Structure 1
Amino acid sequence: MAHKTGFTLKSLTQALHQAGFSTSAGKRRAQGWDLWVLATKGPMAEEAIRNLAGRVLPG
């Protein structure tokens, strides 16, 4: 039976922005179903959050 619940990377990012997070960067790993997102409530430059996400999110 298929479970049609959960998030895509796009829907998770949209939910975070609707919840008040102003900046986010994330990724989906090809070998699994896991999503990883780093989000901030305050503003952060896109390049800065991407660099941070690259250092702390699993590859």
Structure 2
Amino acid sequence: MHFSFMQICKSGAIDILEQEAKGEAIICKDGGNRIRTEIRREITDQIIDFLAKVNLN
């Protein structure tokens, strides 16, 4: 499982998470072949397209 759809982690977040709760840094690690910025751009584009189609903007 990966959490690539979540926010982009701040610099040093992996180290902080591991210190606080071992194993929780997984939320900052991307899975698959795509990076978070690509995924977030695609999600944003899909939301914008949807809103344009239903005239909510």
Q: Is TM (by shorter chain) over 0.5? A: no
Of the two structures, which has the highest relative contact order with CA contacts closer than 8 Å and spacing of 6 or more? 2
Q: Which structure features the higher share of helix residues?
A: 2
Q: Structure 2 length normalisation: TM-score?
A: 0.29
Q: Structure 1 length normalisation: TM-score?
A: 0.29
Q: Which structure features the higher share of strand residues?
A: 1
